Amino acid sequence: MNLLLTVLEIVAPVFILGAVGFTWIKLGLEYRLQFVTQLAMTLSVPCLIFTALMQTEIDPKALADLSIAAVLAYGAITLVTAVVVRVFRIDMRTFLPPLIFGNTGNLGLPLALFAFGETGLGYAVVVFAVMAIWSFTFGVWVVSGGGSLVKVLREPMVAATLLGALFLWQGWQTPQFLTNAMELIGQIAIPIMLITLGVAVARLHPGRIGMAVVLAFLKLVICVGLAWVIGMQFDLDPVAFGVLVLQVGTPVAVTSYMLAEKYGADADAVAGLVVASTLMAVFALPALLAAVL
């Protein structure tokens, strides 16, 4: 009973804020998705990542172990999901990126914070950064044929991660007034991302739902299974292990839909995957939390 209440306390705020965004749109109220997304991804989330890394008290070796585990996990997921796409004879451009990449930002960061506190958030931004780099290179290349390392380095979230890692390694700190300002900016990231997730899901027009449900289930099994096995092989501490499994096991990100729309893939099919995997996460994420807590 205590475990059930703990899991409920962690996941309830996540889904309540998502429901706020969903309801907001269904009531016909205005929400400037592009502006809010840009604000979060270019300013608020980078500030959150940088301050979380700079101030973390996590052992740098533990962060390095988690980084390598995350790289291997996403590499293994890429290979296995590519086989799935071939077996199902579906379009690689449309389906491979959403099967690989989860919602480690909007959903994963808040879950890690609520479940494991500031230590969990510090670990979570590492997994998020690994996913973001792979997504902005390989993911964009699959969808459009044009991934670029230079473009990745220009992404504020990646730059914040590298800079935060440098400050952590050197033991540097920004002046307190600047740290306080960045923390305030970073604090708006999590509620904004969760509400925006609800808004984005409310505006989707999903297609091919039957196929989407099957693929969403396969994604969940593959991602959680591989993350679990690799995390065990690295003998990660319980918090790092829990964060790795949760982050890698998050549902399809709305950004996958946006990329499909931008580069001419089947956006409606991706929207179906987003909706199916997000609804599946309502039941899967509490079960995952119960398993790793």
Please, what is the average pLDDT of the chain?
88
* Rounded percentage of the chain residues whose pLDDT exceeds 90: 41
Phi, psi of 208 (to 5 degrees): 50, 55
**Stretch 240-265: mean pLDDT, rounded?**
86
122-173, pLDDT tens digit by residue?
A: 899 889 888 888 887 788 888 876 656 666 667 787 788 889 888 988 889 9
* 225 secondary structure, DSSP code: H
C-alpha 126/C-alpha 49 separation (Å) is 9
45: amino acid identity, one letter? V
C-alpha 290/C-alpha 225 separation (Å) is 16
Burial class (CB in 10 A: 0-12, 13-18, 19+), 212: buried
Question: How much is the pLDDT for 141?
Answer: 84
DSSP string for residues in 2-68: HHHHHHHHHHHHHHHHHHHHHHHHHTT----HHHHHHHIIIIIHHHHHHHHHHH--S-HHHHHHHHH
14: amino acid identity, one letter? V
Q: What is the helix, strand, coil percentage profile of the chain, to 5?
A: 85, 0, 15
Question: How much is the pLDDT for 165?
Answer: 83
9-52, pLDDT tens digit by residue?
A: 888 888 899 899 999 999 999 999 888 888 888 899 889 889 98
C-alpha 259/C-alpha 22 separation (Å) is 21
Q: What is the band of 214 on the pLDDT scale with cuts at 50, 70, 90?
A: very high
**Stretch 234-238: mean pLDDT, rounded?**
92
Q: What is the band of 174 on the pLDDT scale with cuts at 50, 70, 90?
A: very high
Q: What is the band of 69 on the pLDDT scale with cuts at 50, 70, 90?
A: very high
Residue 1 has pLDDT above 70, yes or no: no
Domains and CATH numbers, the chain: 3-292 (1.20.1530.20)
* Rounded percentage of the chain residues whose pLDDT exceeds 70: 95
71-124, pLDDT tens digit by residue?
A: 999 999 999 999 999 999 999 989 999 999 998 988 888 889 889 998 999 899
**H-helix or E-strand containing 183?**
helix 176-187
Q: What is the band of 3 on the pLDDT scale with cuts at 50, 70, 90?
A: low
